Amino acid sequence: MSHCTSLIIWATNLQYTRLRCNYSYLATSRCSVDNFKLDPWWISGFTDGEGCFRVSIIENKKYYQGWEIQPRFQLTLHQRDKPLLARIKNSLRVGHIYKSGLNSVQLQVRSIKELKVIIEYFDKYPLITQKYSDFNFLKMVVEKFEKKEHLTLEGLIKIIAIKASMNWGLSDVLKKAFPDVVTVVRPLVENQKVKDPNWLAGFTSGEGSFMVKITASKTHSVGFKVLLVFELTQHMRDERLMRSLIELLQCGKIYRSRNTFVFHVTKLSDVNEKIIPFFKKYPIIGVKALDFADWCKVAELMKEKKHLTAEGLQEIKQIKAGMNTGRKN
């Protein structure tokens, strides 16, 4: 190996190490909770992917009319992403973080005062998936709370009619207790244009997948083919949004899988020239940033044609084994 080649390899590895350390910092650094300010559009995109606007209505004799109404905004993540959840809370300036289940943590905003902050935030940086309808329904319920309408039977019925169109609709208990409720019409969100690239970075941090696929191949001397795959999956209701990503990123294709649409990119030149530069400029944040960094490492190895050698293929296999569900820490 020449001295020049050695220097190139050293520089590439150093660049990767710096990139990976940087993403590790964004994913796990405790200091970054206070020092790293999340872009508002990033939070909007992440919420479009992972957020939930809901209204719980629980039978409780302590409350007027016998029903307790609990409007809330929440984000639920794996416990590995608790630093990210703390960063989001720090940016929103409202909410509390709780342990949720065995391996999850949840940011909850429940008080009317803090929900008004959330409403103001997403009015300024609006969602663009069909989740925007749930946000508007929550907004309607909060307005009824402010007017004390939730304390009347008429107001309760109106809130139940709103809830019937949110998320998973009414529980069997509510359907039985209020059989004559007329469901509020759920409007279709049609303006699904991405207004800021940080929205896509946030959405991808929640919904994106960076994968390395290795399949048997008779046409490759090492017996295997390596493929880099970037995917975003969303319910079929958001077909328009998913198709718009092709124009935004100038690459990729859309296919339908049951009740979802999948945007995916597999062409190596598009990965290297469009996807990787985009997310280096508008970073993935959270544990998924580590998967992106590893994905970039494989892309560099493929640029150097190392995936066509037994040694390079083995290195790629090791990287792949530690990504996504294989990542222990």
What the block records as the tokens of 91 is 């940016």
Of the candidates 4, 84, 6, 23, the residue with the CA atom closest to the CA atom of residue 297: 23
Upper half-sphere CA count for residue 91 (Cβ side, 13 Å): 22
Question: What is the chain's alpha carbon radius of gyration, rounded to the nearest angstrom?
Answer: 23
Residues 24 and 65 in one domain: no
Q: Using a CB cutoff of 8 Å and minimum separation of 24, what contacts does 30-35 make?
A: 30/83, 32/83, 32/87, 33/83, 33/86, 33/87, 33/90, 34/90
Residue 323 tokens read as: 């990504």
**How many independent structural domains does the chain possess?**
2
Are residues 232 and 309 both part of a single domain? yes
- Residue 90's domain spans which residues? 40-177
Residues 160 and 222 in one domain: no
Residue 304 binned pLDDT confidence (cut-offs 50, 70, 90): very high
> Is 165 among the domain residues?
yes
- Classify burial at 87, counting beta carbons within 10 Å of its beta carbon; exposed 0-12, middle 13-18, buried 19 or more: buried
Q: Which of 299, 309, 286 is nearest to 49 (CA)?
A: 286
Nearest residue to 16 via CA among 311, 254, 296 = 296
Residue 182 in any domain: the answer is no
- Are 205 and 304 found together in one domain? yes
Q: Let me know whether 172 and 231 are in one domain.
A: no
Task: Check whether 282 has a pLDDT greater than 90.
Answer: yes
pLDDT given for residue 228 in this prediction = 98
Quick one: angle between helices 288-303 and 197-207, nearest 10?
A: 100
Instruction: Tell me which of 151, 177, 203 is where a domain ends.
Output: 177
pLDDT at 321 over 80: yes
Tell which phi-psi region holds residue 311, choosing left (phi > 0), alpha (psi between -120 and 50) or beta: alpha
Mean of the pLDDT values across residues 144-168? 95
User: How does pLDDT run across 201-250, given as a tens digit for each residue?
Assistant: 999 999 999 999 999 998 888 999 999 999 999 999 999 999 999 999 99
**Residue 147's domain is classified under what CATH number?**
3.10.28.10
Give tens-digit pLDDT for 38-68: 999 999 999 999 999 999 999 998 887 899 9
Tell me, yes or no, whether 238 and 317 share the same domain: yes
Residue where a domain stops, chosen among 119, 148, 177: 177
Please say if the pLDDT value at position 79 is more than 80.
Answer: yes
DSSP per-residue string spanning 167-225? TT---HHHHHH-TTPPPPP-----------HHHHHHHHHHHEEEEEEEEE-TTSTTSEE
Euclidean distance between CA atoms 314 and 109, whole angstroms? 47
Report the pLDDT value the prediction gives residue 5, as an integer from 0 to 100.
35
Task: Verify that 125 and 243 share a domain, yes or no.
Answer: no
Q: Which pLDDT value is given to residue 65?
A: 84
Task: Based on the fold, state whether residues 197 and 273 are members of the same structural domain.
Answer: yes
- DSSP-derived secondary structure for 259-294: TEEEEEE--HHHIIIIIHHHHHHS---STHHHHHHH
Are 213 and 147 contained in the same domain?
A: no
3-class DSSP state of 323: coil
Q: Does residue 185 sit within a domain?
A: no
**Which of 177, 210, 226 represents a domain boundary (last residue)?**
177
Going 25 to 26 to 29 to 35, the CA torsion angle's sign is positive
d(CA 85, CA 91) in angstroms, rounded, equals: 10
- Domain annotation covers residue 186: no
Assess if residue 252 is contained within a domain.
yes
Contact call for residues 295 and 25 (beta carbons, < 8 A): no
Same domain, 233 and 129: no
- Is residue 35 domain-resident? no
At residue 36, φ and ψ (nearest 5 deg) are -100, 115
Inform me whether the pLDDT recorded for 4 exceeds 90.
no
Tell me how far apart the alpha carbons of residues 1 and 8 are, in angstroms, rounded to a whole number.
11
> Does 23 share its domain with 47?
no
SS3 for 257? Answer: strand
Answer for the pair 93, 40: CB distance below 8 angstroms, yes or no: no
Instruction: Give domain status of residue 183, yes or no.
Output: no
Classify residue 202: in a domain, yes or no: yes
The pLDDT score that the predictor gives to residue 36 is 62
* Residue 18 shares a structural domain with residue 120: no
